A and B are shown apart, each in its own frame.
Chain A
Amino acid sequence: MLSYIVRRVIGSLIVLLLITAIAFALAYLVPSDPARMIAGVHASAATLAEIRHKLGLDKPVPVQYVDYLGRLLRGNLGTSFIYDRPVVSLLKDKFLATLPLALAAWLAELLIGIPLGIYTARRARRSADYLVSALALVGLSMPVFWLGLILLYWFGFKLPIFPLGGHTGFMSLVLPSLTIGIVGAAYYLRLLKSSMLEVMGNDYIRTARAKGAGERRVVWRHVVPNAVIPVITYAGIDIGILMGGLIMTEYTFNWNGIGALMYEALQQSDIPVIMGTVLLAAVLVVLFNLVVDVLYVFLDPRIRCD
């Protein structure tokens, strides 16, 4: 079991290393010259060379990558062109703004998706199941930013219950988290339903029924605890993805978080910020993947004996 956890940690470290390599390659591919961007169009060749030297851009690529890794390890992600601030402190601020939205969206997904998943599984192949499942498929097919606009139009503009954007306390959280909640819930619903149907087909469920256990007891004591494991896995990875930035939703609802920062950086070609946000998102995914895998060891007795 310990060996399993150690192996997963080492695997994650390797993946992190590859991620930094991809991020570095991406930054390196940029056609625009960072020295030119800092010095301006009219800078002389000598000034450009000097800036290049200062930034280490005249060194061979592998050396640059090692330098880059070294800076990463010291928590230095560079300086934003537009804000003229260290990327790390910028990310910290925006991350704190995104966090409540990500958590609210995550809760909305779970609160809508899991009850509906159990409901449709218990009524499988009846009209209620068909209706809810069809709606889930439509929800899954809807672009988030479009759904966001619809909610904004009806519940922010036509019926002015919620603010049209910005963060002004609890009310401003409702529409954006509901937007993500509806689309995300569709996935949880389908996952839990198929997992429950699979568990219900097992012999031990038939045994429980044969013993005379009531339907309610069978579902809550036997089916749900066994079927919920893949849902937990996905939920763990999902929160990592949500925290990495909800670009579309933040853009639609004018939420000043990581996603908005990313959008801004894109508009201005602020490469250090783009790389920083991408890196943060990927690291969050790897981290939560690892947490889920370790959690799994305690949830699923089958892994423990490996």
Chain B
Amino acid sequence: MSPELLTVHDLKKYFPIRRGVLQRTVGHVRAVDGVGFSVRSGETLGVVGESGCGKSTMGRAVLRLVEPSAGRIVFDGKDVLKLTPGEMRRMRREMQIVFQDPYASLNPRYSIGKTLMEPMIVHKLFTREERMKRVYSLLEKVGLDPDYANHFPHEFSGGMRQRVGIARALALNPRLVVLDEPVAALDVSVQSQVLNLLEDLQKEFNLTYIFITHDLSVVRHISNRVMVMYLGNMAELADVEELFAQPRHPYTRALLSAVPIPDPDYKRERIILEGDLPSPANPPEGCRFHTRCPAKRDVCAQEGPGWREITPGHFAACHFPA
């Protein structure tokens, strides 16, 4: 088994809520509230959950694009949260991100070539000619015509823009890439092309992915392991086959039961969750999920379940795992 590239301990991100005359902090939105996991070199960790569960904030907090409120992030043996601003900027060469919205993530005033060259300029890498050459080769790697370097983002479709976004993330030869819903904004026909591209690039450059998505079929296709998040917490974490074959957490079971299966004879019980997603500013006591859980008992409302290894490599946060 490959060594661990990234370890996250008890990561938290609280956003203050300010009210009143003096704009005092009256509470916090607990977007990420105690998440810990590790990612092995070369693997893909899928992160799934409903919108608002904190998965996107978690991804950005790992890269310190939003400053975590608490926790420890160890990347390649270095404590990321202890780095000085200068060290952090150098560290960013190793860890990159691809954003969800390809229409918002490219600077409209930069040509494609300039967008791809920007990371190398920022880190003072290569000469001008070498940078140009690298731009062309990056464009080829993501399946775009090198001539596009002189064009501007508004001239491209969403899928092509997302390829540029991927090329930008690769420009610095990173080891870890956080993919934040990279195909959610794309047409279905384009989604699979981009997913295949991501898989090819992973093999070629030995990349490690954290793949954030709300789409279970995408996560099943691309991940080695999957983490399920609910309301800023982790619900379940396991190898992808294991998780889909034998989900332990009632929330995961509910999510999986909603995935359509292309077989008219297949019969199964559809689990419908009741109630709305509680506010992360005022999460329920005890188990976060108990207000909507079909299998809840008295203890769930009083005590948090804790993070338990149910079978080797299969973790869940539930008092009564299935």
A contacting B, Cβ–Cβ less than 8 Å: yes
Which among A3-11, A48-56, A190-198, A217-225 touches the partner chain?
Answer: A3-11
CB within 8 Å of A: which B4-42 residues? 20-21
Q: Closest residue of chain A to B20, judged by CB?
A: A3
User: On chain A, which size bracket covers the interface?
Assistant: under 10
CA distance in complex: A191, B21 (Å): 32
Q: Closest residue of chain B to A5, judged by CB?
A: B21
Write the nearest CB–CB distance from B25 to chain A, whole angstroms. 15
CA distance in complex: A3, B21 (Å): 6
Q: Interface residues of A: mostly helix, strand, loop or mixed?
A: helix
CA distance in complex: A295, B20 (Å): 20
Write the nearest CB–CB distance from B305 to chain A, whole angstroms. 39
Q: Closest residue of chain B to A9, judged by CB?
A: B21
CA distance in complex: A134, B48 (Å): 59
Map CB proximity to A onto B207-248 as digits: 1 under 8 Å, 0 otherwise.
000000000000000000000000000000000000000000
CA distance in complex: A10, B22 (Å): 9
Write the nearest CB–CB distance from B111 to chain A, whole angstroms. 35
A3 — which chain B residues lie within 8 A by C-beta? 20-21
B20 — which chain A residues lie within 8 A by C-beta? 3
CA distance in complex: A10, B20 (Å): 12
CA distance in complex: A6, B20 (Å): 9
CA distance in complex: A10, B21 (Å): 8
Write the nearest CB–CB distance from B59 to chain A, whole angstroms. 33
Write the nearest CB–CB distance from A105 to chain B, whole angstroms. 37
Write the nearest CB–CB distance from A268 to chain B, whole angstroms. 45
Write the nearest CB–CB distance from A299 to chain B, whole angstroms. 22
CB within 8 Å of B: which A1-21 residues? 3, 6-7, 10
CA distance in complex: A7, B20 (Å): 8
B21 — which chain A residues lie within 8 A by C-beta? 3, 6-7, 10
CA distance in complex: A6, B21 (Å): 7
Q: Closest residue of chain A to B23, judged by CB?
A: A7
CA distance in complex: A10, B23 (Å): 12
A6 — which chain B residues lie within 8 A by C-beta? 21
CA distance in complex: A217, B21 (Å): 41
CA distance in complex: A184, B121 (Å): 51
Write the nearest CB–CB distance from B20 to chain A, whole angstroms. 6
CA distance in complex: A7, B18 (Å): 13
CA distance in complex: A71, B319 (Å): 70
CB within 8 Å of B: which A189-227 residues? none
Write the nearest CB–CB distance from A65 to chain B, whole angstroms. 25
CB within 8 Å of B: which A56-72 residues? none
Write the nearest CB–CB distance from B216 to chain A, whole angstroms. 38
CA distance in complex: A17, B181 (Å): 50
Listed by A's residue number, 5 A-B pairs whose Cβ atoms lie within 8 Å are A3-B20, A3-B21, A6-B21, A7-B21, A10-B21
The residues of A with any CB-CB pair to B shorter than 8 Å are 3, 6-7, 10
User: Closest 5 CB pairs between A and B?
Assistant: A7-B21, A6-B21, A3-B21, A3-B20, A10-B21
The residues of B with any CB-CB pair to A shorter than 8 Å are 20-21
